[in-house]
């Protein structure tokens, strides 16, 4: 019998997210609402659909392995050289490439916890150790939901090759501010690469939350990760990218690229999306307005919801989390529970969010006495 590497055998089995159509059929309703994966609710941009239709005729050919047109468009958009850009099959794959490029067995990857679920998994595949630094309450009496950058800096040692700072943080939505992040970057040793995972950057409204692309200037051990999956509406096409101050970092990521893994359709769609930035901005503004409404509605219900800078909100429900998520699902609303900690709810359309709030009201009022409050 063949055996997978112990690190791989020990990985949790993939659990597919609930599909809204299946759920709707199962519980006999017309439509289920999916607020579980932080996609935007808008359909693909018109220019994206057009680009996909046009490019479909070329799919008998391999994609451009260097993603030349997209790389040039990104370089221009961010005011960097093409050599500072590495495009990948989703930002998740770029994360994996970073671990492959920088982590020999026995080295480590540091990050806050709870944060993006992929970080520990990709470390495990790379054979790297993890240094997980607990989140701390962002305001007095709050649940732990915010990066502790001094503790993260203190956790870094001679084995730490990579540090992920997810800003805003998935799943809590909180963001670190400029002064504390600059102080942190000043402290990190030059031989450790700091990756600012800014998958939700486009939803940031607080001017004090720094733009990683500005922060990385003059700091060769800092890189920024962005994605077309969230604000730009291309989750199904898989395009993410890294911007690095030091071209050697982008080069290392490119060297670990799975050949042709960013498809022709994905590249064309991403270029078209970048050219539609005004429309994307308008959509993000709508998401941000709805985020404010949803947050206010949840707080009106006595829930301790932190300010989110992303396109989701975090309900720190603690031990009640799994039960509440299951009860919501029975009412045709799919959210993302983190057992024992909290529920992440994507900001949907106002109609979807009203369905969620209605379901939540039913769930919270039907909870056993004494279970209310957080
Ligand atoms: C969604 C997400 C990504 C990007 O995922 P891809 O779809 O692979 O581009 C990266 N980081 C975080 C924190 C995310 O939430």
Residue-wise pLDDT tens digits, 235-274: 999 999 999 999 999 999 999 999 999 999 999 999 999 9
For the chain, what are the domain ranges?
6-44+278-365, 46-276
State whether residue 17 is helix, strand or coil. coil
Distances (CA, A) of 333 to 36, 234, 291, 344, 352: 9, 23, 17, 12, 9
- List C-alpha distances in Å: 27 to 8, 31, 38, 321, 365: 36, 10, 24, 21, 21
Tell me how far apart the alpha carbons of residues 362 and 315 are, in angstroms, rounded to a whole number: 16
- pLDDT per residue as tens digits for the range 184-195: 999 999 999 999
For residues 78 and 243, the answer to whether their CB atoms sit within 8 Å is: yes
When pLDDT is averaged across residues 311-332 and rounded to a whole number, the result is 97
Full-model pTM: 0.96
pLDDT, average across residues 170-187: 98
pLDDT, mean of residues 281-287 = 98
Q: Return the pLDDT at 16.
A: 75
Cβ–Cβ under 8 Å, residues 193 and 98: yes
Averaged over 46-73, what is the pLDDT?
98
pLDDT tens for each residue of 91-127 = 999 999 999 999 999 999 999 999 999 999 999 999 9
Under 8 Å between Cβ of 123 and 64: no
Testing ligand 1's pocket by substitution, the residue of 240, 253, 336 carrying the most ligand atoms inside 8 A of its CB is: 240
Ligand 1 in reach of 198 Cβ (< 6 A):
no
CA of 170 to the centre of ligand 1 (A): 9
pLDDT digit string (tens) for 71-86? 999 999 999 999 999 9
Distances (CA, A) of 332 to 29, 35, 227, 295, 357: 8, 11, 29, 21, 12
Architecture of domain 6-44+278-365: Alpha-Beta Complex (3.90)
Residue 35 has pLDDT above 70, yes or no: yes
pLDDT level of residue 373 (50, 70, 90 thresholds): very low
Three-class SS state of 51:
helix
Question: Which tens digit of pLDDT belongs to each residue from 195-233?
Answer: 999 999 999 999 999 999 999 999 999 999 999 999 999
- Please report the pLDDT score of residue 262 as a whole number: 98
Band of residue 314 on the pLDDT scale cut at 50, 70, 90: very high
* Long-range pairs for 368-374: beta carbons < 8 A, 24 or more residues apart: 371/320, 372/302, 373/302, 374/143, 374/302, 374/303, 374/304, 374/315, 374/316, 374/317, 374/318
Please say whether the beta carbons of 41 and 352 come within 8 A: yes
CB of 216 sitting under 6 A from ligand 1: no
Beta bridge pairs of residue 244: 223
Topology (CATH) of 46-276: 3.40.640
In angstroms and rounded to an integer, the radius of gyration of the C-alpha atoms of the chain is 21
CA pseudo-torsion sign 84, 131, 177, 297: positive
Ligand 1 contact via 88 beta carbon (within 6 Å):
no
Are 168 and 310 in contact by the 8 Å Cβ rule? The answer is yes
Show the beta-strand stretches assigned E in 22-122.
Answer: 33-34, 85-88, 108-113
240 CB near ligand 1 (under 6 Å): yes
Beta-strand (E) ranges in 157-302? 160-166, 193-197, 222-227, 240-244
């Amino acid at each position: 019998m063949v055996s997978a590497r112990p690190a791989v055998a020990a990985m949790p089995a993939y659990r597919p997210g609930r599909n809204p159509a299946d759920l709707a059929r199962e519980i006999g309703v017309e439509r289920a609402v999916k607020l579980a994966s932080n996609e935007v609710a808008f359909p693909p941009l018109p220019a994206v659909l057009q680009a996909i239709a046009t490019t479909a005729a070329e799919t008998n050919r391999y994609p451009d392995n260097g993603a030349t047109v997209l790389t040039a468009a990104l370089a221009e958009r961010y005011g960097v050289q093409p050599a500072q850009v590495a495009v990948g099959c989703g930002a998740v794959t770029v994360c994996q490439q970073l671990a492959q490029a920088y982590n020999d067995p026995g080295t480590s990857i540091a990050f806050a916890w709870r944060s993006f679920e992929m970080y520990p998994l990709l470390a495990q595949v790379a054979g790297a150790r993890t240094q997980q630094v607990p989140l701390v309450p962002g305001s007095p009496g709050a649940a732990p939901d915010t990066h502790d950058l001094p503790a993260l800096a203190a956790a870094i040692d001679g084995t730490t090759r990579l540090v992920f700072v997810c800003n805003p943080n998935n799943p809590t939505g909180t963001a670190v501010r400029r002064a504390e992040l600059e102080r942190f970057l000043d402290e990190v040793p030059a031989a450790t690469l700091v990756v600012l995972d800014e998958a939700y950057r486009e939803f940031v409204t607080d001017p004090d939350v720094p733009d990683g692309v500005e922060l990385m200037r003059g700091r060769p051990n800092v890189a920024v990760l962005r994605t077309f999956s969230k604000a730009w509406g291309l989750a199904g096409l898989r395009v993410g990218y890294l911007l690095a101050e030091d071209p050697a970092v982008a080069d290392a990521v490119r060297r670990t690229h799975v050949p042709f893994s960013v498809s022709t359709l994905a590249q064309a769609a991403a270029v078209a999306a970048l050219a539609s930035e005004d429309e994307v901005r308008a959509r993000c503004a709508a998401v941000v307005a709805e985020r404010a409404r949803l947050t206010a509605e949840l707080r009106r219900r006595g829930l301790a919801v932190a300010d989110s800078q992303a396109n989701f909100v975090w309900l720190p429900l603690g031990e009640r989390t799994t039960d509440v998520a299951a009860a919501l699902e029975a009412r045709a609303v799919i959210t993302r529970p983190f057992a024992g900690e909290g529920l992440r709810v994507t900001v949907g359309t106002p109609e979807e969010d009203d369905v969620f709030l209605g379901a939540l009201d039913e769930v919270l009022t039907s909870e056993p006495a004494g279970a209310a409050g957080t």
